[in-house]
Amino acid sequence: MEVLSAEAGKVEMAVTWREEFGQYAGFMHAGMVGALIDTACGFAAATMVGRVLASHFSVNCLRPAVGERFIARARVVKPGKTQVFTACDLYAVAGDEEKLVATGETLLTVVNNS
């Protein structure tokens, strides 16, 4: 994944479509969709609290994920000392058109560095 932008509590990441990301019908596999959302949410949280580890995440697949490129836009919803709530929107890009294909939320645990 490529980081397109990052600031405190927000990150935008992208990945270019590769055939091995697909499932049997040619759409992006739901496991890959979840991995992109989880990764972007983790990066967004890390911009505010450092190291984190996902303790729970959920994904809503809204339409088949088909595109040349995929952009994950994640944001921190509520930071805390021990856990961080985040959300992410995943877009499929084809030409100049972006389509929202999935949304997700993660609950991340702050990892103590000691």
Nearest to 42 by CA among 83, 4, 81: 83
**Residue whose structure tokens are 């969709």:** 33
The pLDDT of residue 10 is: 98
Beta bridge partners of 22: 28
Each residue's pLDDT tens digit, 69-87: 999 999 999 999 999 999 9
Residue 92 pLDDT > 80: yes
Domain formed by 2-110, architecture: Roll (3.10)
Please spell the DSSP secondary structure of 30-41, one letter per residue.
HHHHHHHHHHHH
The pTM (predicted TM-score) of the whole model is 0.92
Distance CA(100)–CA(108), nearest Å, equals: 23
Secondary structure element (H or E) that encloses residue 72, with its range: strand 69-78
